[in-house]
A and B are shown apart, each in its own frame.
Chain A
């Protein structure tokens, strides 16, 4: 149990230093924190505009002793729509970080397979950054990222740069080119898995829409990867981040405390985790 923090449900107002539209629906924010969050990759913050509302948003920058906080916000409701109007110099309310993230020590020496669907790339970027920052601590890194059309692709330039790192392969896919120029592949994120070399010591990390997990897990199971070597990042509509509001409960677990990053072996028996 932690000591009681009287401000745990009251956000700190944090300055936005950079805001850019990444797609028609997603806006990227860089904020300057008054003090480092010291988050783990995979953790989230509760982001808000006082008077409008609050929502859980994944941290999309790597961890470290820095004052940077990066968030990618998809316009989905009134709050996230209002956030699309925020620019450099404005403030955003931030609480957190919350949840359990990835332990980089476990990745040491392992091959890593990262599968991202759509917005799932944002939280996974918080893991990819530290993996690439200390490239020689880890084995081969394969990143599969899929989205609907080229216009929906996130972090395009960064993905290209990641693919140029030694021992790192990035497979970018769209479901449909929608008559737009496209230099990646066409298909679902499951398709490239069959062609990969996946030794048993590989760690796989998945983040995407609920429907993606089922098929990627089937594909990985077919390749014999143990379920305690697969991490999934689950999404629920948290209201508090401190395990009280009940909205993110998955059977006896709460997504905001026990997740959002779960080992597949820990949740596969829970009927409410994936469907």
Chain B
């Protein structure tokens, strides 16, 4: 497929050049310690971590950027269709499908996995054309992690660290401020073919060198296997942990919004102020932690308490979605929900407590 050994700064310059002609997204610093995954412009500050810098002073927390790359594939407020009403009052509706090409670069293994899971979810039963058309025209440039992002990361425990599926190109940091750049798909190979990068003749060695650099354990570890965790969560419906961990929850929905496998939405209609005979239907990020998410006509709320909503969120990640979509945990261990939570509610702790409780019960 093609593998290259490229100086990091040369690669970043190539990304910037690509961005001159097409939509390229990359993690970028937003404030002192936070990164967002955003469109690259000529003035964008691009950086990648250094193999030789174990303290990671040159790179920050780009790996856990917000919003997660998966959200670029289902953007907030995306149009589903536009409409126009004629003189007789009849409407013509035109679906909006975004087939412009995008490149999402610097996507970490946890986010590659999240996108693969969203692909599976969006293709299932009745496929969502708006997501899938955008996805079909999106290239992914993955980036390996040699260090956990911070003390909240548990990607290895969640089975995400080795994930490559979905990446068209994959980057692995190498000593001497270089990157191993591998094409994993034909589309990735085509994109790299014109870059003029020097070929790499020792791909296996480069990979092994990077892997040896990883600390062990890599991030937080569950006290048992991921399968055991998922089984423990499934058995935890009546556990006290839901109430204990939700007493301080504001139901702000941040955990939903930053989760790379959350995709729930609400739908809204608008007409133009200037021309009320035209308008659009759009969809908007929604979250099951918000108070009114499960309200039905007549006012009944099927998940009235924060504890019930917390349980639904955690069950959805470890039990419900895996049950329907191929058995893989939909929590990828990125730690974003814990990191962004204003009251420190931690899905890892919740799962760990349920695991401990299941152990006592056995």
Contacts and interface: CB of A to CB of B under 8 A. Distances in A.
Nearest to B132: A4
B85 A50 contact: yes
B91 interface: yes
A9 B270 contact: no
B302 to A, nearest CB: 5
B263 A244 contact: yes
Contact of B89 (A53, A90, A210, A257): A90
A269 to B, nearest CB: 10
A18 B129 CA distance: 33
A240 B267 contact: yes
Contacts of A249: 288, 312, 316, 320
Interface string A119-163: 000000000000000000000000000000000000000000000
B296 A245 contact: no
Interface in A1-38: 1-11, 13
A64 B86 CA distance: 33
A252 B270 CA distance: 33
A5 B293 contact: no
A263 B124 CA distance: 23
B90 interface: yes
A272 interface: yes
A239 B264 CA distance: 10
A126 to B, nearest CB: 19
Nearest to B267: A239
Contacts of A5: 126-127, 129
Contact of A252 (B268, B298, B324): B324
A91 B263 contact: no
Contact of B81 (A9, A53, A236, A239): A9
A32 B98 CA distance: 32
Contact of B266 (A49, A239, A243): A239
Given A90-B89, A236-B296, A272-B303, A245 B264 contact: yes
Nearest to A234: B296
A196 interface: no
Interface in A183-230: 209-210
Contacts, number: 140
Q: Which of A235, A241, A243 has the most CB of B within 10 A?
A: A243
Contact of A51 (B80, B92, B128, B269): B269
B320 A242 contact: no
Interface string B233-262: 000010000000000000000000000000
Interface secondary structure of A, over-half rule: loop
B137 to A, nearest CB: 14
A4 B99 CA distance: 15
A2 B126 contact: yes
Contact of B91 (A13, A244, A246): A13
Contact of A242 (B126, B269, B283): B126
Contacts of A209: 298
Contacts of B208: none
A233 interface: no
B41 interface: no
Contacts of B81: 9-10
B302 A272 contact: yes
Contact of A235 (B92, B133, B296): B296
A94 to B, nearest CB: 11
B265 A239 contact: yes
B124 A243 contact: yes
B59 interface: no
A87 B290 CA distance: 37
Nearest to B130: A9
B319 interface: yes
Interface of B: 80-81, 83, 85, 89-95, 97, 121-130, 132-133, 237, 263-271, 276, 279, 281, 283, 286, 288, 293-298, 300, 302-303, 312, 315-316, 319-320, 323-324
5 contacts: A51-B269, A52-B269, A93-B93, A236-B302, A252-B323
Instruction: Give the 8 A-B residue pairs with the shortest CB-CB distance, closest first.
Output: A246-B264, A242-B126, A252-B320, A50-B83, A51-B271, A10-B95, A4-B127, A10-B81
